């Protein structure tokens, strides 16, 4: 059944409630309920139940939930064992200002490019010690990290994003079998949003781009009162940090570097498989901490469980978002928007309309990968028919995905970055939104101009 413009109602409900209540999970659940009430009327509970079961039985969902839960355990080990604090102390000795701490955070984000989950959780968690010292709000820390999560994974083609989109390019016949990554690389120069999002960060840090809106308020709060964590987000902190027992030697930076190198190295070794990488990273960390007597075995396993516990709110939000995506698929929102915009997609307007439309869809649905599997079979044949460069259109699509990942109030990247930085998803999303919109606006102008060059 075609629901037309009514398919936009559930997303509108989510956005309005998120802005009104400042609560993410409740807003997303409400949006899913509204969608199923529209599609199934009095049978909405059955439809909702079926959607949740579909989500929970999906292999990709299970993978994401396991990765996030185990990353919580891994980070808790780094904190409890003292590795995160030792790394923070090492960086602090080389940092003499607030700007320096944020620039170090930005650089570290550029280096960890294998996956946005790895980036979001690792960088934010390990740099809090440094940025807290100079009264940097957690919202600012989250913005810097999120700007080098999905964007940098798009720019550097050795990432989970590159692998996924290369597969979609092959599946849609745009690239021959085994050549998807080559077409992806050809589209990188046209990924305007990721480049602008990454480059804007040092401009904000240096004050060239001023503090705007809620970010200005957050920074004023942190600098004037020393309260770096936004009110109501204190529960997101990993507590019970490492305190050396009598006779223990102080924590050293190797307690950070060995686990991180193991995590990244095994992730690459297992062909960019984050789940196997984090499992191996945890095992190496447990062995290292046991051999060096950093933590007792009981402390280590208690810490693993504590790490999962801290991630429970994130896991709940992710399940709610995946259910909401199922609801949007059932009501046909993405198809409706693409059909509505398609008649206006001329040679000159196709790149900019592709970017704007899919950025809007990704932002409103919280789906940074799934909706593009729906859009590609429509957009690429149209581009081939009217003679628009495929790498250009691919760059516009992937840029839209990067924007949605960073800007959406309830995307997985937003939720995980907020968790790692120690602030709520809403506080993180609303403070970084002006900067994401500036980069998106400039990207739109770029696609409009390049179409006529």
157-211 pLDDT, tens digit each = 877 788 778 877 887 778 787 788 888 899 999 999 999 999 999 999 999 999 9
Output the DSSP codes for 371-383.
HHHHHHHHHHHHH
pLDDT digit string, tens, across residues 365-413: 777 776 777 778 778 888 887 888 889 999 999 999 899 888 988 888 8
Residue 365 has a CB neighbour count (10 Å cut-off) of 27
pLDDT greater at residue 58 or residue 24: 58
pLDDT greater at residue 268 or residue 287: 287
Mean pLDDT confidence for 9-38: 85
The residue extents of the domains of the chain are: 57-450
Residue 390 has a CB neighbour count (10 Å cut-off) of 17
| Residue ranges in 41-190 assigned as alpha helix (H) | 44-57, 59-81, 83-92, 98-111, 116-133, 138-146, 150-155, 160-171, 180-187
Residue 167 has a CB neighbour count (10 Å cut-off) of 15
Mean pLDDT confidence for 228-245: 59
pLDDT digit string, tens, across residues 414-446: 888 888 888 888 899 999 999 999 999 999 999
CA geometry: angle at 422 spanning 137 and 404, to 5°?
90
Cα(205)–Cα(219) distance, integer angstroms: 12
- CB of 54 closer than 8 Å to CB of 19: no
Mean pLDDT confidence for 41-57: 90
**For the chain, what's the residue count?**
453
pLDDT at 233 over 70: no
pLDDT digit string, tens, across residues 131-149: 888 899 999 999 999 998 8
pLDDT at 249: 54
In this prediction the pTM is 0.79
């Amino acid at each position: 059944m075609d629901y037309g413009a009514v398919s936009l109602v559930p997303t509108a409900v989510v956005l309005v409630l998120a802005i009104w209540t400042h609560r993410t999970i409740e807003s997303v659940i409400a949006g899913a309920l509204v969608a199923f009430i529209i599609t199934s009327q009095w049978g909405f509970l059955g439809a909702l139940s079926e959607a949740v079961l579909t989500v929970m039985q999906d292999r990709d969902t299970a993978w994401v939930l396991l990765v996030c839960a185990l990353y919580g355990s891994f980070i808790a080990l780094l904190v409890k064992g003292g590795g995160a604090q030792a790394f923070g102390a090492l960086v602090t000795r080389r940092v003499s200002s607030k700007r320096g701490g944020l620039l170090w955070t930005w650089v570290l984000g550029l280096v960890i490019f294998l996956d946005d989950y790895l980036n979001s959780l690792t960088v934010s968690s390990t740099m809090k010690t440094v940025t807290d010292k100079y009264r940097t709000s957690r919202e600012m820390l989250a913005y810097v990290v999120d700007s080098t999560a999905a964007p940098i994974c798009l720019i550097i083609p050795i990432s989970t994003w590159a692998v996924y989109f290369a597969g979609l390019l092959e599946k849609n016949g745009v690239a021959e079998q085994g050549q998807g990554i080559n077409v992806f690389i050809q589209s990188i120069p046209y990924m305007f949003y990721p480049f602008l999002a990454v480059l804007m960060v040092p401009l904000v840090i240096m004050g060239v781009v001023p503090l705007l809106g809620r970010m200005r308020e957050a920074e004023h709060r942190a600098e004037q009162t020393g309260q770096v964590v936004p009110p109501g987000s204190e529960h997101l902190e990993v507590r019970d940090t490492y305190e050396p027992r009598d006779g223990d030697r102080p924590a050293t930076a190797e307690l950070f570097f060995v686990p991180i190198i193991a995590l990244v190295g095994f992730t690459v070794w297992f062909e960019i498989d984050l789940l196997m990488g984090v499992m191996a990273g945890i095992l190496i960390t447990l062995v290292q901490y046991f051999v060096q007597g950093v933590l007792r075995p009981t402390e280590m396993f208690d810490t693993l469980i504590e790490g999962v516990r801290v991630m429970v709110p994130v896991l709940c939000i992710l399940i709610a978002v995946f259910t909401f995506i199922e609801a949007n698929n059932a009501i046909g929102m993405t198809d409706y928007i693409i059909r509505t915009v398609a008649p206006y997609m001329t040679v000159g307007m196709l790149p900019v309309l592709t970017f704007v439309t899919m950025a809007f869809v990704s932002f409103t649905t919280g789906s940074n990968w799934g909706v593009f599997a729906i859009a590609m079979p429509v957009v690429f044949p149209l581009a081939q028919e009217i003679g628009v460069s495929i790498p250009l259109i691919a760059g516009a699509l992937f840029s839209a995905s990067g924007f949605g990942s960073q800007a959406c109030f309830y995307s997985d990247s937003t939720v995980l970055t907020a968790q790692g930085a120690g602030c709520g998803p809403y506080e993180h999303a609303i403070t970084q939104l002006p900067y994401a919109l500036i980069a998106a606006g400039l990207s739109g102008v770029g696609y409009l101009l390049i179409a006529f060059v």
